[in-house]
Amino acid sequence: MPQYPSRVTEPANIADLERLAAERLEPGAHGYFAGGAGDERTLRRNADAFEGWELRPRVLVDVSEISTRATVLGAELEIPILVAPVAFQLLAHPDGERGMARAAAAAGTVLCLSSLTSTRPAEVAEAASGGKRWMQVYLFRDRGVTRAMIEEAAESGYEALLLTVDAPYAGRRERDLRSGFQVPAEIRAPAIEVAVGHRSLTTAEVFELVDPSITWEDLERLCDEFDLPILIKGLITGEDAALAVEHGAAGVVVSNHGGRQLDNAPATIDALPEVVEAVDGRIPVLLDGGVRRGTDVAVALALGAQAVLVGRPALWGLAWDGEAGTRRALEMLTEELRLALALLGAPNPSALSTDHVQRRA
Ligand SMILES: Cc1cc2nc3c(=O)[nH]c(=O)nc-3n(C[C@H](O)[C@H](O)[C@H](O)COP(=O)(O)O)c2cc1C
């Protein structure tokens, strides 16, 4: 394992940012952001599994010009790295979701806003009006609440929906159980509160609104009802990926919620090949979970993902230094990816293929 200095003031990589963020955050909030479900096997596995994939560089390829640009669902992005939906960002830094949105816009990528955003979707849109944004949604027991949330997002220029399907119930996050952490009362969930008719809700009450009875038929109904493309976020099997295509999904995000839901599920990077095979090019496949390096992004793209999302890396940047910190996180990943592409002999993301990766023996 590489040796890192124990105290870092100038971050060189995402691991440095993580340590700096841990110093800034109050312990309960840090546990909430950093933690996973159960024994945190899946949380650890997501990042560790990238070590199980090796890169196969090709040499004597002209890499004098490198582009990190990618097109995802018609959106032209500067980098194939999106910002994942992460709840309650005002808890990390006063810049909160506004800062995250501005940093994503500066990097030329998509901000995915959580339905547990602590800032109203319209205000996030205003704060980064030139940026691209997608809205993450849950299907609520009261379909009127889901509809109200989606309509507000559509009016505010959110161009796609991520329907999160791996959280019919909240995972068992034991760090929070031990610390007794609860989201402070001043941090609200306005997207949901507005959708339920301007009522205040505790986080537990919010989770009770989520409908655990949803099935693939509900996805079809949602696709019929709304014009926005709907990506399914939170599947990790080829079987579910095939069903997602059949039932009208515009894309899938291979995700296990950053290890926060079902513990002992496989790492997403190990699940990616079977999903790519099942989807067979019919819709875009994205991935999140454990991406901490530009070389991790390269592995995911080589295995067939069109783009990745990062949750905690962007969040550690935010916690460390607000909008500027998230910008820094995205810049570090971009520079690492640029160098990885150059050293792999792949001058742009679409030049990557399965020939550039192998399983470690
Ligand atoms: C603190 C925290 C809150 C999250 N909140 C949401 C959420 O509200 N909705 C959602 O779909 N995913 C949520 N996620 C999952 C992320 O969207 C993403 O799947 C995960 O963070 C990716 O793993 P990574 O953190 O290793 O990059 C959350 C993740 C974290 C760490």
Q: Is 71 exposed, middle or buried (0-12, 13-18, 19+ CB in 10 A)?
A: middle
Answer yes or no: 247 catalytic: no
What span, in angstroms and rounded, lies between the C-alpha atoms of 224 and 154? Answer: 15
Q: How far is CA 346 from the centre of its chain?
A: 25
Pocket test for ligand 1, best of 43, 114, 330 (most atoms within 8 A of CB): 114
What pLDDT, on a 0 to 100 scale, did the predictor assign at position 1? 53
Q: What is the pTM of this model?
A: 0.96
Pocket test for ligand 1, best of 32, 86, 91, 330 (most atoms within 8 A of CB): 86
Residue 140 three-state SS: strand
Which residue's CA lies nearest to atom 2 of ligand 1? 86
Q: Provide residues with CB under 6 Å of ligand 1.
A: 33, 46, 84-87, 114, 116, 136, 164, 233, 255, 257-258, 260, 288-291, 310-312
Half-sphere exposure of 139 (CA within 13 A, CB side): 20
Phi-psi label, residue 232: left if phi above 0, alpha if psi -120 to 50, beta otherwise: beta
- Dist. CA 160 → ligand 1 center (Å): 17
Which residue's CA lies nearest to atom 29 of ligand 1? 86
Phi-psi label, residue 223: left if phi above 0, alpha if psi -120 to 50, beta otherwise: alpha
Pocket test for ligand 1, best of 169, 260, 286, 315 (most atoms within 8 A of CB): 260
Q: What is the pLDDT along the chain (361 residues), one digit of tens a residue?
A: 555 555 667 899 999 999 999 999 999 999 999 999 999 999 999 999 999 999 999 999 999 999 999 999 999 999 999 999 999 999 999 999 999 999 999 999 999 999 999 999 999 999 999 999 999 999 999 999 899 999 999 999 999 999 999 999 999 999 999 999 989 989 998 898 888 887 777 777 888 899 999 999 999 999 999 999 999 999 999 999 999 999 999 999 999 999 999 999 999 999 999 999 999 999 999 999 999 999 999 999 999 999 999 999 999 999 999 999 999 999 999 999 999 999 999 999 999 999 999 999 9
Helix residue spans in the chain (DSSP H): 14-24, 27-34, 41-48, 96-107, 121-127, 143-155, 174-179, 190-195, 203-209, 216-225, 238-246, 268-279, 294-302, 312-344
Q: Which residues sit opposite 358 in a β-bridge?
A: 54
CB atoms within 10 A of CB 359: 9
Determine the atom of ligand 1 nearest the C-alpha atom of 34: 31
Which residue's CA lies nearest to atom 30 of ligand 1? 86
What span, in angstroms and rounded, lies between the C-alpha atoms of 11 and 123? Answer: 30
Two structure tokens written together for 244: 């997602």
- Dist. CA 84 → ligand 1 center (Å): 6
- Per-residue burial over 172-200, b = 16 or more CB atoms within 10 Å of its CB, e = otherwise: ebbbbeebebebeeebbbbbbebbbeeee
pLDDT digits (tens, 9 = 90+) for 137-187: 999 999 998 999 999 999 999 999 999 999 999 999 999 999 999 899 899
What span, in angstroms and rounded, lies between the C-alpha atoms of 22 and 93? Answer: 13
